[in-house]
Amino acid sequence: MTEQRMMHERLEKAAQFKELGQNPYGNSFKPSISAAEFLAKYADKSREDLMGNSDSFMLAGRIVAARTMGKAAFYRIQDAGTQLQLFMSQEALGASYEQLKLLDMGDFIGVTGTPMRTKTGELSLHVNGFQILTKSLRPLPEKYHGLSNVEQRYRQRYLDLIVNDPARAIFTTRSKIIREIQAFLDARGFMEVETPILSDIAGGATARPFMTHHNALDEDLSLRIATELHLKRLVVGGFERVYEIGRLFRNEGVSTRHNPEFTTIEFYQAYATYEDLMALTEELFRRLVQAVHGKLTMPYGEHELDFSKPFRRVSIARLVGEHVGLPEGKIVELEQTQDFKWALEIALGRTVTPDTPKLILKEHGDVSGDAVKSRNLALHLLYAVFEHEIESSLIQPTFLLDFPVAVSPLARRRDSDLAVVDRFELFCAGMEVSNAFSELNDPADQRGRFEEQAKLKAAGNHEAQEVDEDFLTALEVGMPPTAGQGIGIDRLVMLLTNSPSIREVILFPKMRAK
């Protein structure tokens, strides 16, 4: 039977309910107990205990299974993810038993009855009355055997949640993870805040923004690509521990790890360094893994991740040196090098896109005679090798260190090495899940870096940042020494639920229009 024919028949059944005086879309039924509460209440009661039990309850749910045997029928309803069996008999229902023929899979019904156990021992509700609550016009997919078409699951998440328990479990876990993070930060004196989504300038990250227009003010605005600059304004204003869980929007490609609309948490702590945040991050991730898995090890794909050990802390240069097979002495030299030519030789000899080293060289300009600029360029080239070849191999929790200034426009320079910033990224299962650094609070240095970004933007780099004069004014008022961190909530949920795609953990991911 075609879906169109089935819908026509269901419309006819809805009309028959109306003729019987029942509104197929009524709103007067009030359940007295949920399916989960009912099952818990009588979980330890035997069949004999429940014989003659006169406790009466009202429950509601969606029909997900039905089996009729003459004068008796077994239905199964689903209520907030919990299923409950219903025993329906002609003896108990009388003339209304015939109305069961008007019910279909997917309908919502309200039932009244008493607890019982069947001969097989399943706790059930012995129904003595029912009414239609919502007539489902479209059939559930594959007669409730599941929804396996991945694209349909993402486009019609409501069907996915009805028929696929693992999908429901992912989003239940997602909510739990967010609550755990909030509790963790709240207990440490952080305050949750909200900052604007629409901005005059999209700042705080290197990304291409979505643009829109405000008609009343006749102004072009951008959707935020980060919450960073507004949160740091709050630190300037005296809120010294703040965080925000919010949506960000970046006009970029779609992949298994990227969605143009995604969720992050950013938090900022005055009088802290990036090293303080590394310790805090280890503590937070162990708490989350324990909360979700009940232990400090967990699966991801074919790997077993261990969060019980101290996370490895390693420089970009060391990872590249190990990757290309340098001996230990040469790796130490590479970590300390101020000669960009060696780094360029490594980059050109690897599978980095051939144009990448050329673009990096052009971006830095002439660095001859300036050891800091030469070292910054060298580290930038090594970072390109890391991104293209090494990132996906970082399976166990790893803090990546010693980023060049060139790729960190908002991070504080290291006092002992001005080409490097005090920053880390946390990698797990081959993906970046966190980025943190000691914040740049020198307004002159920040202005210079904004201006370098502005030059890149003028040269055609749509992801480069603009000069944010108001943020510079805030820094001139004075921001205390501060460290800040961002964690991608979607990738974190991917990690903790062993999900291979970001679309599995976003309720309504962006899909190409049909």
Please give the Cα distance from 264 to 269 (Å, whole number): 17
Return the higher-pLDDT residue of 462 and 86: 86
pLDDT of residue 35: 97
Please give the Cα distance from 405 to 364 (Å, whole number): 11
Calculate mean pLDDT across residues 242-260. Answer: 94
pLDDT-based confidence at residue 354 (cuts at 50, 70, 90) = confident
What share of the chain in percent tops pLDDT 90? 86
pLDDT-based confidence at residue 253 (cuts at 50, 70, 90) = confident
Please give the Cα distance from 471 to 203 (Å, whole number): 10
Please give the Cα distance from 372 to 377 (Å, whole number): 9
The model's pLDDT over 467-513, given as tens digits with 9 standing for 90+, comes to 999 999 999 999 999 999 999 999 999 999 999 999 999 999 999 88
The model's pLDDT over 48-78, given as tens digits with 9 standing for 90+, comes to 999 989 999 999 999 999 999 889 999 999 9
Classify 458 as helix, strand or coil: helix
- Is a pLDDT exceeding 50 seen at residue 359? yes
Of the candidates 501, 246, 514, 495, the one whose C-alpha atom is nearest the C-alpha of residue 394 is 495
Taking CB atoms within 8 Å and a gap of at least 24, the contacts of 498-503 are 498/298, 498/299, 498/300, 498/301, 499/170, 500/256, 500/301, 501/256, 501/257, 502/255, 502/256, 502/257, 502/258, 502/259, 502/262, 503/154, 503/256, 503/259
What share of the chain in percent tops pLDDT 70? 99
CA 294 to chain centroid, in Å, comes to 20
Please give the Cα distance from 242 to 276 (Å, whole number): 16
- Is a pLDDT exceeding 80 seen at residue 147? no
Please give the Cα distance from 491 to 503 (Å, whole number): 10
The model's pLDDT over 259-292, given as tens digits with 9 standing for 90+, comes to 999 999 999 999 999 999 999 999 999 999 999 9
Calculate mean pLDDT across residues 160-172. Answer: 94
pLDDT of residue 463: 87
Q: How far apart are the first and last CA of the chain?
A: 25
pLDDT-based confidence at residue 140 (cuts at 50, 70, 90) = confident
The model's pLDDT over 422-433, given as tens digits with 9 standing for 90+, comes to 999 999 999 999
- Is a pLDDT exceeding 50 seen at residue 113? yes
The CA-based diameter of the chain, rounded to the nearest angstrom, is 97
Residue 397 burial (10 A CB sphere; 0-12, 13-18, 19+): buried
pLDDT of residue 52: 86
pLDDT of residue 405: 95
Calculate mean pLDDT across residues 361-386. Answer: 94
Ordered structural domains, the chain, with CATH: 3-139 (2.40.50.140)
pLDDT of residue 142: 67
Calculate mean pLDDT across residues 36-54. Answer: 95
Please give the Cα distance from 511 to 508 (Å, whole number): 9
Please give the Cα distance from 273 to 267 (Å, whole number): 13
pLDDT of residue 144: 44
- Is a pLDDT exceeding 90 seen at residue 327? yes
The model's pLDDT over 301-324, given as tens digits with 9 standing for 90+, comes to 999 999 999 999 999 999 999 999
- Is a pLDDT exceeding 50 seen at residue 293? yes
pLDDT-based confidence at residue 148 (cuts at 50, 70, 90) = confident
